[in-house]
Structure 1
Amino acid sequence: MNHYSTGADPYDAGAALGRALRADGLSPGQAHLPALSAEKRDFGEKSARICAAEYPSLLAEIRGLADGLKMPFSDLAAFLFGIYNFPPFQGCTCFAAQGEGGEVIFGRNSDFLTMFEPYDASFHYTISGKHAFVGNSTAPVQIEDGVNEFGLAAGLTFLWPVVKKPGLNAGMLVRYLLEHCKTVREAIGALREFTISSSQTITLADRHGGMAVVECNAERFEIIIPRPGERFVAATNDFHSAGMREYRCPCADDLQSGLRYRVARAALQSRTRYNLSFAKDLLSGKFGFLCQYDRSLGADTVWSVVCLLRQGRIFRCEGNPSRDEWREDFRLNFAPLP
C-alpha cells in the first residue's frame, strides 16, 4: 500500500500527488482504466460542473492532479466521477460501536479487485483551512474510509446504481465530511446539501458517541441509528432501511454482502463489551465469513482499518487481516478531547 502526504493549496496538492504517482509508475492509463465511453465523458463533464459549485476545492485538486499526471482533465474527470456509477463490482464492510470505557470504535474492510492492489494508497491530508485527516482509497482524490483530527470517522460501501445522475460520488462525499465536519450530526447535515450521484452507505462515528449509517443515492436519503438496546451500527453492500429497499439491485451477490452483514451483526450482538481486539478479530473473520475470499478469483480484502476515536489511534492492516499484520498509524495529530 502506497503512502502519500498532501497539503496546503488544493491545486498544488493535486499536482504534487500527480507527479508522485507518475514517478511511482502509477499514472492512470489504458492498461488499467476502463474505456472512457461517450457516456462516461458526458457524465464526468456534467459532474465536474456540479463539483465546481458544491465542492470547488476538490475540483481544483483534480485539475492539479491532471496536470501533475500530464493527463487531459476530461479523461481524469470521466474516470474519477464515474468510479461508483460505472463500477466493476461491489464490496466492503463497515461498523461502528460504543466500546469499553466509553471508547468509540470504527472499523472497515475494503474489498476490491486484486489487479488494482498496486494503486491502493493511504493519504495524510493537511489542506489549508480544512480538517487534517488520514484516509485510504483505491483511487486518488476520493476517500473510502478515514478519520479526521477531531475524531470523526467515515467509511463507505457502494451498491450497483439502480439510479444515477451527475454529481458527487461516494468517495468524494466521504472526503468532504472528513475535511469539513467534526460530528456525526454535522456530517449528516452536510450530506443533505449535496447533489449525490452514486448509490452507497456511509457509516459515521465520532468521539462523542455519535454513530449512524446513511443510506443514499441520487433520489433518496435515509438514516439508520442503533436499534433499541444496541450500541452499534453495521453496513455492507445493500440497503436495509424501508425507504431504500426499492433501490436494491437484483444483481448477483458475488462478494457475499448478505452473509457479511449477518456475520457482523451477529458478532456485535453477541458482545456487550467491545475493544480493539474484538474489532480486529471481527474484521479478520474470526466470527464468520467477512474476508475469507478465494483470491484466485480476482477479489480480496485489500486493507482493513480500526480507529479508536476517543484515544485518537488508527490501526491498519495493509492486506487481508486474516493473514497480514496490523500496524498503528501515527501520522495524524488529533485535537484534544473537549
Structure 2
Amino acid sequence: MASMSLTFDAVNEATPGPKWLARWNRSWPAYEAWFLGRGGDAGPSAAASRDALQKHMPELVPVYDRLVALTGGGDRAARFLSTWCPPKYLGGCSLAAMADGAEVRLVRNYDLSPDLNEGLLLRTEWGGRAVMGMVEFLWGLSDGINDAGLSVALAYGGRSCTGPGFGITTILRYVLETCDTVAGALKVLRRVPSHMDYNLVLADASGATASVEMIAGGGMRLMPRAIATNHQSGSDLPDRAPFTRTYERHDHLSKLRVAPDALNRQFLQHPLHQDRYGEGFGTLFTAEYNPATGGICLHWQNARWEQSIDAFEEGSRVVDYARGHAFDAALNDLATQEAMPDWSRAAQIDWQALARDYANGCGREVHSYLPH
C-alpha cells in the first residue's frame, strides 16, 4: 500500500555540512534511480550544466560546488544538482497571496503522494543571508521565505512540455538567496529560464504580491491576481485537469474575499484541500508565510507547527493522513521509523503511465504502478 504518513523534519544548518550530507545519503539512491530511469544521463554534461549555472545564476555556483564536493564529486550527482535541463516531473498545488495594508500572507497547499515529498523544512545561510523553506531536489525549494521577508511558492503549470532551462526549485532557491522584494524577484524570473511550465506566487514585507506563469524554455507572464493552480492562461489545455480539478480550485480562489490572516483556513477546506492520498493527490501540508515576521506555519487538519527565520527550532512531526493528525516525532520513535517514506520504491513508480491513466479517468492507487 502507498504510505499514509510522512515525517517532517526541521533542520538548521548555516553552511552545507554533515546534516545536508546525511539527507543526501538517505535520498540520493531514489533520486539517482529516477534520474537514470527518465534519461538524465543523456542530458547535458556536468561541465555544460555548471556553465549554465554560472551564466544564469552565478551567485549559486559556490554553494553548488560545495554540495557537489560533499557528495564525492561524481559526474551524475553534479548534473543532477545543477538541475539544468532535468527530466520532466509533475505535481499539483494551490497558491494565493493577499495583503490589505495591515497584513500580508502567502499560503500554499502541496498536493502529492506522501511517498514523494522530502518532508524537510531547512533553514540555511548558504549565501550569507537566512533562507527557510520546504526542500525539493535536495537543495531547491518548493516554497520559502528569506530574512528580507520575500516569500515565494510554486505550482505545476499543467503541461509536461520542456525547454532549455533549470528545474524550478533551483530558481526559487536563487530568488530567495539574491532578492529582497517582489519587484527584484520579477527581474530575475524574466531572465532565468525554467525547463517546464510553472506558476509562482510571491509576496514581500511591504505588502506587494504577484503571480507569474513561467514558460518552458524561458520567459514569463505576469498575471492579474496573486493566485495559481495547475493550468496557465491561453488555449492549451492542461494535463489531467479533471483529476486535479485545477479549474474548480482556481475559480474558488478567484472568488475569495477574506482577510490575509484568515486565508489559511480556506486552504484546509474543500475544494482546495485534497484527500486522495492513495491516488497520489492529497494535501501533504498547508504552508502559511508571513513576510512581515519572517515566519512560516505548517498546517494540517488538526495540527500546526510554527517556525521563523529568527526563532527556528529543530524537531520532527509525524503526520498520519489516515487518522488526520500530527504529533511530535520525539514522543514516538517507532512511529517515526514506520512513517519514513520508502524512497527506493517511490523512485520505481511509472509516473508517465500514472499520468495517462488519471488523464483518462481510470487511475489506480499509486502503489499499483510499481514494477512487479
TM norm. shorter chain > 0.5: yes
Match of 1:91 in 2: 92
In 2: Cα distance, 1:194 partner to 1:149 partner: 22
Aligned match for 2:58, one of 27, 49, 56: 56
Greater RCO (CA < 8 Å, at least 6 residues apart): 2
Match of 1:294 in 2: 276
Shift of 1:5: 2.1
Stretches of 4+ aligned residues off by more than 6 angstroms: none
Please list, as runs of the form range in 1=range in 2, the aligned pairs for 1:175-194 lying within 5 A after superposition.
175-194=173-192
In 1: Cα distance, 2:145 partner to 2:263 partner: 16
Instruction: Answer yes or no: is 1:284 the counterpart of 2:273.
Output: no
Q: What amino acid maps onto 1:91 in structure 2?
A: G
In 2, are the aligned partners of 1:120 and 1:139 still within 8 Å (CA)?
Answer: no
Q: What amino acid maps onto 2:12 in structure 1?
A: S
Please list, as runs of the form range in 1=range in 2, the aligned pairs for 1:119-130 lying within 5 A after superposition.
119-129=118-128
Match of 2:222 in 1: 223
Instruction: Answer yes or no: is 1:256 the counterpart of 2:257.
Output: no
Q: In structure 2, the residue corresponding to 1:225 is in which secondary structure?
A: coil
**1:203–1:275 distance in 2 versus 1, CA, 3 Å:** closer
In 1: Cα distance, 2:131 partner to 2:201 partner: 16
Match of 1:230 in 2: none
Instruction: Answer yes or no: is 1:274 the counterpart of 2:226.
Output: no
Instruction: Answer yes or no: is 1:307 the counterpart of 2:314.
Output: no
**1:293–1:6 distance in 2 versus 1, CA, 3 Å:** same
Shift of 1:93: 1.0
Aligned positions, number: 302
Give 5+ residue unaligned stretches, structure 1. Answer: 227-232
Match of 2:108 in 1: 108
TM-score by length of 1: 0.79
Match of 2:28 in 1: 28
**1:44–1:38 distance in 2 versus 1, CA, 3 Å:** farther
Aligned match for 1:167, one of 165, 168, 182: 165
**1:47–1:199 distance in 2 versus 1, CA, 3 Å:** farther
In 2, are the aligned partners of 1:36 and 1:79 still within 8 Å (CA)?
Answer: no
Q: What amino acid maps onto 1:236 in structure 2?
A: T
Q: What amino acid maps onto 1:298 in structure 2?
A: G
Match of 1:229 in 2: none
Shift of 1:146: 0.8
Superposed CA deviations along residues 121-173 of structure 1, whole A, max 9, x for unmatched, are 111121244x3121112331111111111111111112355542232221111
In 1: Cα distance, 2:214 partner to 2:31 partner: 32
Q: In structure 2, the residue corresponding to 1:2 is in which secondary structure?
A: strand
Shift of 1:253: 4.3
Superposed CA deviations along residues 198-237 of structure 1, whole A, max 9, x for unmatched, are 21011111121211111021244210133xxxxxx21011
Shift of 1:291: 1.7
In 2: Cα distance, 1:80 partner to 1:47 partner: 6
- Please report the RMSD computed on the Cα atoms of aligned residues, expressed in angstroms: 2.8
The percent of aligned pairs where both chains have the same amino acid is 20
Give 5+ residue unaligned stretches, structure 2. Answer: 1-7, 313-372
Shift of 1:265: 2.1
In 2: Cα distance, 1:248 partner to 1:56 partner: 35
Q: What amino acid maps onto 2:231 in structure 1?
A: D
Q: What amino acid maps onto 2:228 in structure 1?
A: A
